[in-house]
Amino acid sequence: MSLTLTDTAADKIRGLLENEDNSALNLRIFVSGGGCSGFQYGFTFDDEIKDNDEVVDSHGVKLLVDPMSLELIDGAEVDYQSSVNGESFVIRNPNAGSSCGCGKSFTPAETGSGCANAGY
């Protein structure tokens, strides 16, 4: 299983973590039901690493991902982009059959992990 960060995303995460008063924080990336395409990406800081979490170290940043989310974003790349619409994290997900226009939600590909009906 793999998940990677671009240099830009890693730099942004490190900067955000430096502003927090908790050196134990890591970035948790998750997938939940919702959004205009069925599943949506979520990001939060978390100081708890759960027993079943996958801990991914990319560019010196620890990412925490639960097993169900990892199945849906395995092989994805997390980037951070600035545009006229603002700044945000963007996930390039090879398991997405389609994505909404805002890039915040997706529908898994038919040939993906088979989790499309997992009921998140």
Angle made by CA atoms 114, 119, 91, in degrees to the nearest 5: 65
Q: What average pLDDT does this structure show over 68-73? A: 89
> 17-21, 23-27, 100-104: lowest mean pLDDT where?
100-104
Q: What average pLDDT does this structure show over 9-30? A: 93
Share of the chain above pLDDT 90, in %: 44
Dihedral pair phi/psi, residue 9, rounded to 5°: -65, -40
What pLDDT is recorded for position 40? 85
The CATH-assigned architecture of domain 3-108 is: Sandwich (2.60)
Give, as one character, the DSSP assignment of residue 66: -
Distance CA 74, CA 94 (A): 8
Instruction: State yes or no: pLDDT of 67 exceeds 90.
Output: yes
Tokens found for residue 10: 């890693």
Question: In the beta sheet, which residues pair with residue 112?
Answer: none
Distance CA 61, CA 55 (A): 10
Amino acid type, 27: L
User: Which has more pLDDT, 96 or 64?
Assistant: 64
Residue 1 CB partners (closer than 8 Å, separation 6+): 54, 70, 74
Instruction: State yes or no: pLDDT of 21 exceeds 60.
Output: yes
Domains of the chain: which residue ranges?
A: 3-108
Gyration radius from the chain CA atoms: 14
Question: Which helix (DSSP H) or strand (DSSP E) does residue 73 occupy?
Answer: helix 67-73
